[in-house]
Amino acid sequence: MNTYAPPLQRLITELSKLPGVGGRTAQRLAFHILRAGEEDAYALAEAIREVKLKIGFCEVCFNLAEGPRCRICEDERRDAEVICVVEEPVDVISIERTHEFRGRYHVLGGALSPIDGVDPEHLRIEQLYQRVSDPTQRVREIVIATNPTTTGEATALHIAAGIRAIAPGINVTRLASGLPVGADLEYADELTLGRAFAGRRTL
């Protein structure tokens, strides 16, 4: 028999679906929300609703955006001839914190992992090739900043080979050492990530 009233149990259940939130943490969060004032609780609910309604993907780079294009793609000061390829939107945030990169981005939406059923067609690799092939873009360098994991490395090599095949004149680089193997960009500090950018190498 359930101890909690159905609305409270539902809140605990939904919170426990969040990454890194177990049953006990979900219970604490639920009771915190219950104790909070109506204004704070409704503000949280409204923020969740608003982000689901208003935030989508940029039509150019597939970063998170409010509207057709993200702020980076709309910024004319950014170098459109250099594209940094990352796995997820959170990686864009990590790189932006370093203040080392002034180009544009391309978010793949993951990394190649055939064992998990993630093949090239499941990522936004074809859209990257289209950007590279577009003569109006005049792309001169692709910086591959996928995570330094097995899947990230496989993705980097696949993309590098594809770009060499369709646009051999474009320089393809990879983030240099400084990032520990097996780590995610999300958890790298600014200094380590900045040094990796400064010392990127050709694949």
Task: Say if domain 78-202 classifies as CATH 3.20.20.70.
Answer: no
Residue 97, pLDDT > 80, answer yes
State the pTM of this model.
0.78
Strands 171-174 and 201-202: antiparallel
CB neighbourhood size of 42 (10 A): 11
Percent of the chain scoring above 70 in pLDDT:
97
Whether 15 has a pLDDT exceeding 60, the answer reads: yes
Of 95-104, 127-136, 156-165, 172-181, least confident by mean pLDDT is 172-181
Res. 1 pLDDT band, cuts 50 70 90: very low
Q: Could you tell me which CATH class the domain 6-46 is placed in? A: mainly alpha
> Looking at residue 188, what is its pLDDT?
79
The pLDDT tens digits for 114-135 are: 888 888 899 999 999 999 998 8
Q: Where are the domains of the chain?
A: 6-46, 78-202
Q: What is the pLDDT of residue 99?
A: 92
Instruction: Pick left, alpha or beta for residue 75 (phi over 0 → left; psi -120 to 50 → alpha; otherwise beta).
Output: beta
Average pLDDT over the chain reads 90
How far apart, in Å, are the Cα atoms of 94 and each of 86, 98, 124, 157, 182? 10, 7, 20, 22, 16
Tens digit of each residue's pLDDT (9 = 90 or more) over 172-184 = 999 876 667 677 8
| 139 compared with 195, residue with greater pLDDT | 139
